[in-house]
Amino acid sequence: MVAARTLILLAAAVVALVRPPAALAEDCRVVEDFSAGKVGEFPPGWRPRADAARGVYKIAEEDGKRFLRATARGLGVQAAKQYDWDIAQYPILAWSWRPIEFPAGADERNAKTNDSALAVYAVFPHTMVSLKALKYIWSAVAPVGTRLTSNMGLTQVLVLQSGTEGKGKWTEARANITEDYRKYFETADVPKPQGIAVLTDSDDTNSTAQGDYANFRVCRP
């Protein structure tokens, strides 16, 4: 009987080693899951860059999943959420996004066609009247890894995903904010982030852009 019990315990130990332990699960904190507001409304706790943003960004739900639906018709306006976090502990910004309609003729490499179906910002303090930001976009045409700048260099832009093949499909995105800030702003000092922002825009192409955002988190490496 003792031998049998020993075998059972050994078998359980082997199973425990094979099965991924809970401690290895992703260690993240929720920034926004859009559960606090009502479907069809501008998300509470967010700030519109201009009043027009309230008509662009609205909470939606599909198969029990809450997300932010952005529909921009000839507009380019941000929505932002203030969220301070310890970037030393949680350097990864993670989220899900889904392109629905890419702005016609858009190419972020050209100032005259600089529109995107999806863009996510990590926002940092700079001066009393300006901010710095890392902007991650899903471009229809610019290759992954393309680096751009805007706002006189205060916004560093990186093409995180590219192509139209993922249209209509949710995709997980991750960015190491600490590494990117040091690399693109060429400094070892990374200030505490002040929040996140999103931008679905189509003003330069005077077309329509539509995309979805969900499950914003900050994570440990």
We report the CATH number of the domain holding residue 182 as 2.60.120.260
Number of domains in the chain: 1
**Phi and psi torsions of 208, nearest 5°:** -125, 135
Model confidence at 76: pLDDT above 70:
yes
**Any domain includes 19:** no
- From the list 135, 97, 93, the residue with the least C-alpha distance to 117 is 97
**Any domain includes 94:** yes
Structure tokens at 72: 């921009």
Positive or negative torsion for Cα 141, 146, 152, 154: positive
**Any domain includes 98:** yes
**Any domain includes 14:** no
Positive or negative torsion for Cα 153, 121, 184, 165: negative
**Any domain includes 101:** yes
Quote the DSSP letter at residue 142.
S
Domain region containing 39: 27-219
**Any domain includes 1:** no
pLDDT digits 0-9 by tens, 83-132: 999 999 999 999 999 999 999 999 999 999 999 999 999 999 999 888 99
**Any domain includes 191:** yes
**CB burial string 183-207: b at 16+ within 10 A, e below:** ebbeeeebeebbbbbbbbbbbbbeb
**Any domain includes 18:** no
pLDDT digits 0-9 by tens, 42-53: 999 999 999 999
The pTM assigned to this predicted structure is: 0.88
Hey, how many other C-beta atoms are within 10 angstroms of the C-beta on 176?
14
